[in-house]
Amino acid sequence: MQSQIIDPAKTDLNHHHTAEETASHHEEHPDHRIFGLILFLVAEGMIFMGMFGAYLAFRALLPVWPPAGTPELELLLPSVNTTLLISSSFVMHNADTAIKKNDVSGMRTWLGITAAMGIIFLCGQLYEYSNLEFGLTTNLFASSFYVLTGFHGLHVFIGVTAILAVLWRSRTSGHYSNEKHFGVEAAEIYWHFVDVVWIILFGLLYIL
C-alpha cells in the first residue's frame, strides 16, 4: 500500500501569505471606521437637537423668558470662548493637512495647539460657572443652561482627550503617515462636530 506524503508547506496552517495576497485581502474588506464615526456623531447630534428643541419649547411656552429675576448672562467671556473654539477648528485642520503631507512634526505641533485651545475653553467655562449668579436649580432657564453647556463641555473634554491620545500614539515612529492617519482624521471630524454644536448653543443661550 502506497503511503501518501503531505507537504507541510502546502497546508493552510503553514501557508504564508504574500504581500500581494495580504493587500488583496484588505481590499476585499474596506475601512468603514469613518462611516461608523459619522453615524455615532449623527446619533449624538440627535441628542443635542432634542435638547435644543426642549429649550425652544420652554422659551415658547413660558410667558417670560428667562424667568423673572434671572440675572443676565455676560457676553464677553462666552464670545471669547466662541472665537477660540472656532479658531481651533482651523488649527485642527492644519494638523490633518500636515500628516497627509507626511509632516509628523507639524501634525504634533498643530494637535498640541488645538488641545491647549480646548483646555483654555474648558477653563473659561468653569470660570463662568464660578461667577454665575444662579445655580442649577434656580429656575428652568438655569437648569437648561447648565445641562446644555455641561453636556457640550463633556464633549469638548472627550475631544481634547482624543487629541492627546493621538499625540501620545504619534511618539511611535511610523504610526501616522500620509497613508495611515485615521486617528488624526477621526479626531478632526469629532472636533468640528463639537465646534458646530457650540455655535448653535451660543446662539440659543446668549444671543436669542
Identify which of 181, 54, 174, 34 has the alpha carbon closest to the alpha carbon of residue 110: 181
**Structural domains of the chain, with CATH:** 26-207 (1.20.120.80)
DSSP 173: T
DSSP per-residue letters across 134-156: S-TTS-HHHHHHHHHHHHHHHHH
In this prediction the pTM is 0.84
Q: What is the pLDDT of residue 208?
A: 87
Mean pLDDT of 53-76: 93
Instruction: Report residue 13's pLDDT band, with 50, 70 and 90 as the boundaries.
Output: very low
Mean pLDDT of 19-31: 54
Residue position matching grid coordinates 459619522: 38
Beta-carbon-side half-sphere exposure of residue 120 (alpha carbons within 13 Å): 17
Using CA atoms, how far residue 46 sits from 92, 112, 150, 190, 202, in Å, is 24, 30, 17, 15, 18
> In angstroms, rounded to a whole number, what is the distance separating the alpha carbons of residues 132 and 147?
14
Using CA atoms, how far residue 6 sits from 2, 16, 39, in Å, is 13, 17, 50
pLDDT tens for 161-192 read 999 999 999 888 888 888 888 899 999 999 99
pLDDT tens for 116-165 read 999 999 999 999 999 999 999 999 999 999 999 999 999 999 999 999 99
CA 43, 45, 46, 48 torsion-angle sign: positive
